[in-house]
Structure 1
């Protein structure tokens, strides 16, 4: 596949699983009971089982949707938590706090979804997912013009770079 193309949620779930396996030394296994009606991809089910991903609803994953930068930050922060925080699960996520020095607030901070803010700043503080220039993070597409140009979508190439940075830096 062309690495310059945008990456889907399902493709990035597979990347997240590989990062988890590399950092933890453990093999991820798919969840026994699939919660999603729109996806039976074993890599997505592994990512769900380790807590790296959540659905876009209680019963859907939307595997072919393009991944945006705040989703990438969130998935990889969850992988980090799963590997380093004893007893962490997606259900208990609110009970855990990561210790890091928060970088300067991004100019587009108000566009970063509430669920993703800590992950975005954690990834930025560790040099895993950086801003895009002019002190912007570009968390997600915010206008149809930006969407048409893939403004905040992660590419396959960027996903691989992010994964390598994570394994090397954390």
Structure 2
């Protein structure tokens, strides 16, 4: 009798070890990528970015939060790797305020610079004109034609607000249907960009150049 009990307990132990513990199975975050903070107008393009594998888990939430320099570096590198089908490399690491591999990859690709020789400011928000510059540089790093058609219409009344170092990049993004005005005649280049807006701009870039 004692022997049978020991055998039964051993059998139960073997069977139970084959059954995953409750909650151990990793959830697929893509099923939970919309937390209710996304704008209704943005959801189709956010879903498309998700389908195109241009996003990552942490960025697909709190959609109206301003995107940071660090976060947009990650999106830019994902776009570069999607275009080139090559993993971006890390070479130089000059920054004392971040060791994020995506920041370093973006820096080494020439997509982004530091705010000084040793500081990056990873948590700083990013403006619409800065995003255009980073998208332009991502396309250039991916070997796309980045020439700007200077004769094409650029209909915005606030063009004078765009920095000299950004103007051609902003025009390029407008000409390639990546960025639009916030209204018919206003581009609003100095406003910060939300997470959902940034994801949509990355997805539009992919759709325009895939």
Same fold (TM over 0.5): yes
Q: What is the 5 A alignment of 1:63-78?
A: 63-78=122-137
Q: Counterpart in 2 of 1:45? A: 104
1:155, distance to aligned residue in structure 2 (A): 0.7
Unaligned stretches of 5+ residues in structure 1? 87-96, 141-151
Q: Counterpart in 2 of 1:104? A: 154
Structure 1 residue 123 and structure 2 residue 173: aligned?
yes
Structure 1 residue 167 and structure 2 residue 167: aligned?
no
Distance 1:123 1:99 in 2: 9
- Note the alpha carbon deviations across 1:114-152, whole angstroms, 9 max, x for none: 111111000011110111114121111xxxxxxxxxxx1
- Note the alpha carbon deviations across 1:89-110, whole angstroms, 9 max, x for none: xxxxxxxx61436332421111
Distance 1:47 1:22 in 2: 14
Larger Rg over CA atoms: 2
1:2, distance to aligned residue in structure 2 (A): 0.5
Distance 1:44 1:102 in 2: 34
Segment of structure 1 superposing worse, 77-86 or 34-43: 77-86
- Number of equivalent positions: 148
Unaligned stretches of 5+ residues in structure 2? 1-60
TM-score, normalised to structure 2's length? 0.66
| Equivalent residues of 2:148, 2:168 under 8 A apart | no
Q: How large is the RMSD of aligned CA atoms in angstroms?
A: 1.7
- Greater RCO between the two (CA within 8 Å, min separation 6)? 1
Distance 2:169 2:153 in 1: 12
